[in-house]
Structure 1
Amino acid sequence: MKSVKVLLSSITAILLLSASSAYALSLGQLETMSPSQKKQAQQYFRSHSLGFSSIFKRYHPGPYWILKNKSAFHLTPEQIQREGQLKDEMAMHTIEDDRALQRAYDKYEKDAATAHPTLATIKKDIIRVGKAETRLGWEMVPYHLQGYALLNPAQKVTYTQLAAKTWAQDHRTPNSNLQQR
């Protein structure tokens, strides 16, 4: 029985170590990205996340935006720390999902380029791409909702007002108030 406990403890330690290593690796990758690489990654995300930026994020801008506007929210040190953790975790998982989608597209393209692709293979590839894109579109939603949940009632009022104001300012065009999707 003792050996089972030791084994379980060892497995748990290995899992925690590998998870923290992946987290550190992704954060390290994020920190070493140039501004143009970050911009390119953001553009790729926007075009492959099922309208997340224009539909969901419009109403729920998320931890990055909350931190950017921390003075308007009068965040506590604890809120700043937790929003920062959410932002970092969200970035790490989004990078992983972005890479998974790119791998799915690469496989689909490779299989489609063969002389005689099978229907079953192409169907699997398309389903894999669809699932990866759905995952990418979904990835940030929980973090955005968790970021909002950390706010107190007064901060939530500020959040709603500031989110609407920010959206209107960011999407104003010379001919209209809101840009069409």
Structure 2
Amino acid sequence: MAKYDKADLERRMHGAVESLKHDLAGLRTGRANSALLDPVTVEVYGSHMPLNQVASVSAPEPRMLAVQVWDKSNVGPVDKAIRSAGLGLNPIVDGQLLRLPIPEMTQERRKELSKLAGQYAEKARVAARNVRRDGMDNLKQDEAKKEISEDERKRAETEVQKLTDATIAEIDAAAAAKEKEILG
């Protein structure tokens, strides 16, 4: 089984935070931002692909996104993917260009997005806790194999817990900042 590797745990926890920041960047705050469409996947060529692999996204105006689809046959699937992504956007198809007006945010929509930010944060917290659990399990296995002493295991478990606490604090701070941005 895997040995305890502090660097690997740090990398995985950092990955959970980066994934959260990426997800939060996709939540719109009333301004057009091409990152808004990053989570959108399109079903083309028999598989699901990220939108940025079948089209280019730009923000020509503060309240408008433009999606230039490269292959004409993908316009329909791209339109469908954007509509079903739960972002509240309705593309206007103009040939191979889709224009997405960014609607004014209602208080209700702000609350929905704030709740979604909270869900993203909880997903990141769960990921961080899973990494902690893996680290603790590896330490117990190392101790059982007599590769480390009980004192070394306890010392390392304290390190893992500190790393987890710091990661969750970073996750909470990122989520709080995004919720303030959404609700503000």
Give the structure-2-normalised TM-score.
0.34
Question: Larger % of helix: which?
Answer: 1
Give the structure-1-normalised TM-score.
0.35
Larger relative contact order, structure 1 or 2 (CA cutoff 8 Å, min sep 6): 1
Question: Larger % of strand: which?
Answer: 2
